[in-house]
Amino acid sequence: MPLPGEIDAWDELTRHAVELAETDLRALFAADPERPEALSVDGAGVHLDFSKQLVTEGTVGLLEGLAVERRVSELRDAMFRGERINTTENRPVLHVALRMPPERSLVVDGKDVVREVHAVLDRMAGFCDRVRLGEWAGQTGRPIRTVVNIGIGGSALGPEMAYAALREYAIDRLDFRFVSNVDGADLGSALEGLDPAETLFVVCSKTFTTLETMTNAAHAREWLLSGLGDDGAAVARHFVAVSTNTAEVTKFGIDPDNMFVFWDWVGGRYSMDSAIGLTTMLAVGPDRFHDMLAGFHEVDELFVAKPFRSNLPMLHGMLAVWNRDFLGFPSTAVIPYSHRLARFPAYLQQLTMESNGKRVTREGEPVGVETGAVYWGEPGTNAQHSFFQLFHQGTQPVPADLIAFRQPDRQSVGGQEMLVANALAQGRALAFGRTADEAREAGIPEWQIPHRTFPGNRPTSTLLLDRLTPRSLGSLVALYEHSVFVQGAIWGIDSFDQWGVELGKEMALEIVPALTDGDGLEGLDPSTRDLALRFRDRS
Ligand code: F6P
């Protein structure tokens, strides 16, 4: 990536950020009460109000200039054409093909990937219907009652998040559990109280070699066979696989007929709408799964078609770059005011940080500017009673996305007004704060004034949607996917590889023999050796 001084728009934005530091959100709103109209965008049922970000219309124009200079649209179009934009893995990046309608066609390397996608979706639907209707019998002839999803990272966070989000749409007669951690307590507690005769394991792994997933799957198989008698045929009735690796699936003992494929052009963290969503489809049914895909696709379409000023993901991504590089904020919070979205921040953590936690460009040169922010969050209002103190009065602002819905969950027993009032109040308090004079007017004693004033000028965006549905969930996820893409395109990094997780995996495998048998202790660094010895010193 050219260094900041070599990009005109970058320099202009740097100067602009210095100028803007002279003012604040109170002054900006006082000067222009129409800000919410000018600084908001609608698309796919999402209203994004970014008028409480530290921006002006001028900022948006300069960000557009930067996006043009960095050729974000060209890279986007290359992605949609199926070009190999994941350069370090030499792969196309085609999660957008996962949600293209069947009448579309996209030929990559001589194959129509849309047709392949729909063939898998149809197989998934057939299987899900049988399990949901109780027609898929286990080894003893009894129908399945519990589905245990085994996977980690992109092969777990999406299905787990989607199940929690769409619980009110889930079938009652099936129970769903999720296992990721190699800590045996995770599988142990998931299996508690289950009858193997009525349990189905969905083993999700793109590579089918991931240590955690393979360990958990092997233990699950032992548990099943010890419950049903050591009959390999039971595995065929109680295990299905979602993977790109047929050879490894077969080696594990899963019948390839019970395997649902996806492709190396689907990144793990971009796969919840592929066959990795099998558990989601089992829960909500094929029609609602297709509704979710339609929500994704709607955002894909507007990402491609809309001009910058009305392009929801483009604006969202460029605001993230503004906050990260020009205002210098290292972290971003995502606060869903929907308890159903409790796992959404965890899902976004992988999407954002595994994608954009990079320090070299696609060409292997240092990026030269700050890249991916730390993303984190918790549902509102719980978050308000833990870390929001720092948001309001800490020394540095933490930009936040506040996500709210007009309609309550169908199972909600309280009023939506109280929940949404909290979302709006937080955005307002963070933006406008409370001055010392206002605190005095409110009768606060003088000695408490420093503690009870709020500096304000802390940026938030508010995303307002109608209701949490399969479709709106798809749109929300696609919005963040493309926002991540835009950020990565500006930084010139490969947002679709994840080499950074390799070293720790390799080292864990090296350390296992040191912990089990004391082998290889001498090759470890002194600190790790000392800790390994202390671990081994257990009665
Ligand atoms: O953490 C690295 C990673 O490769 C993720 O990108 C991926 O989502 C996860 O591990 C699981 O990989 P797999 O689906 O191959 O088991």
Please provide the distance, in angstroms rounded to a whole number, between the alpha carbons at the two ends of the chain.
55
For the chain, percent of residues with pLDDT exceeding 70? 99
pLDDT tens by residue, 394-433: 999 999 999 999 999 888 887 899 999 999 999 999 999 9
Q: Whose C-alpha lies nearest to ligand 1, atom 16? A: 205
DSSP 207: S
CATH says 4-69+306-491 is which class?
alpha beta
Q: Which two tokens stand for residue 120?
A: 């898998």
pLDDT on residue 230? 73
- What pLDDT score does 233 carry? 86
Spell out the long-range contacts of 123-129 with Cβ–Cβ below 8 A and sequence spacing 24 or more.
123/260, 124/260, 124/275, 124/278, 124/281, 124/286, 124/289, 125/281, 125/286, 125/289, 127/240, 127/260, 127/278, 128/278, 128/281, 128/282, 128/285, 128/286, 129/285, 129/286
In the predicted structure, residue 7 carries a pLDDT above the cut 90: no
The pLDDT value recorded for residue 2 is 52
Which tens digits make up the pLDDT trace of 55-96?
999 999 999 999 999 999 999 999 999 999 999 999 999 999
What is the percentage of the chain residues whose pLDDT exceeds 90? Answer: 95
Asked if residue 479 has its Cβ within 6 Å of ligand 1, the reply is no
If you measure from the C-alpha of residue 265 to the centroid of ligand 1, how many angstroms do you get, rounded to a whole number?
14
Tell how far the Cα of 480 is from the centroid of ligand 1, in angstroms: 19
Say whether the peptide bond before residue 381 is cis (omega within 30 degrees of 0). Answer: yes
Q: From ligand 1's centre to the CA of 180, what distance in Å?
A: 11
pLDDT, mean of residues 168-182 = 97
190-217: per-residue pLDDT in tens?
999 999 999 999 999 999 999 999 999 9
> Of the candidates 457, 326, 314, which has an alpha carbon nearest to the alpha carbon of residue 13?
326
Mutate to test the pocket of ligand 1, among 181, 347, 350, 501 (most ligand atoms within 8 A of CB): 501
pLDDT digits (tens, 9 = 90+) for 450-504: 999 999 999 999 999 999 999 999 999 999 999 999 999 999 999 999 999 999 9
The topology (CATH level 3) of 95-289 is Rossmann fold (3.40.50)
Q: Whose CA is nearest to atom 6 of ligand 1?
A: 268
